[in-house]
């Protein structure tokens, strides 16, 4: 008869041997989403602060997460009559590409949320954006101080 402590060690060793030692592939954002988001940031808020640019990105993510809007970043951005600042002809600058990638990672890993999930809209004058929970700037509003 095998003593209980030895059985425990053997069972643990068997469990460890059965675990997969496959390397975990780090998550990478979809290059097409990075590209589309960077172009949208260029068109919607290139003259705004980084915080406002991040808030525009979070508006898009909030829409993707909301059942009333399309289920992907690209579909939310290209949905007719939604983001007039998006164009495939807009440039993708290194700075905006890095910001888009960073924002997508924050969204994927659920960290550093800039806007609460119910902020789905924004308006502004090219320098300042005001974000709201209802269309037309109604409902709760947030703007950078």
Average pLDDT, the chain: 89
- Return the pLDDT at 5: 63
Average of pLDDT values for 42-68?
96
In this predicted structure, the answer to whether residue 41 has a pLDDT above a threshold of 60 is yes
The CA-based angle 70-73-74, given to 5 degrees, is: 90
Asked if 56 and 117 count as a contact pair (C-beta separation under 8 A), the reply is no
Average of pLDDT values for 96-107?
97
Predicted confidence (pLDDT) per residue in 120-134, tens digit:
999 987 788 999 999
Predicted confidence (pLDDT) per residue in 66-80, tens digit:
999 999 999 999 999
- Return the pLDDT at 125: 78
In this predicted structure, the answer to whether residue 20 has a pLDDT above a threshold of 60 is no
Instruction: Tell which residue, 85, 141, 76, has the closest CA to residue 115.
Output: 141
pLDDT band at 16 (very low <50, low <70, confident <90, very high): low
Separation CA 117–CA 120 (nearest Å): 8
Residues near 43 by beta carbon (within 8 Å), at least 6 away in sequence: 83, 84, 85, 86, 87, 90
Average of pLDDT values for 14-18?
59
Separation CA 113–CA 106 (nearest Å): 7
User: Does the global pTM surpass 0.85?
Assistant: no
- Return the pLDDT at 26: 86
In this predicted structure, the answer to whether residue 9 has a pLDDT above a threshold of 90 is no
In this predicted structure, the answer to whether residue 17 has a pLDDT above a threshold of 80 is no
| Interaxial angle between packed helices 50-65 and 31-45, expressed in degrees from 0 to 180 and rounded to the nearest 10 | 120
């Amino acid at each position: 008869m095998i003593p209980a402590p030895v059985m425990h060690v053997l069972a643990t060793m068997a469990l460890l041997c059965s675990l997969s030692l496959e390397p975990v592939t780090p998550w990478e954002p979809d290059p097409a989403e990075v590209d589309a988001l960077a172009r949208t940031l260029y068109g919607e808020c290139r003259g705004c602060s980084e915080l406002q640019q991040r808030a525009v990105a979070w508006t898009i993510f909030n829409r993707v997460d909301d059942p009333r809007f399309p289920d992907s970043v690209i579909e939310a951005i290209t949905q007719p009559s939604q983001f007039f600042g998006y164009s495939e002809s807009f440039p993708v600058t290194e700075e905006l590409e890095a910001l888009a990638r960073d924002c997508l990672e924050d969204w994927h890993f659920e960290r550093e949320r800039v806007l609460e999930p119910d902020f789905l809209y924004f308006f502004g004058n090219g320098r300042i954006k005001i974000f709201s929970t209802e269309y037309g700037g109604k409902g709760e509003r947030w703007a950078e101080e």
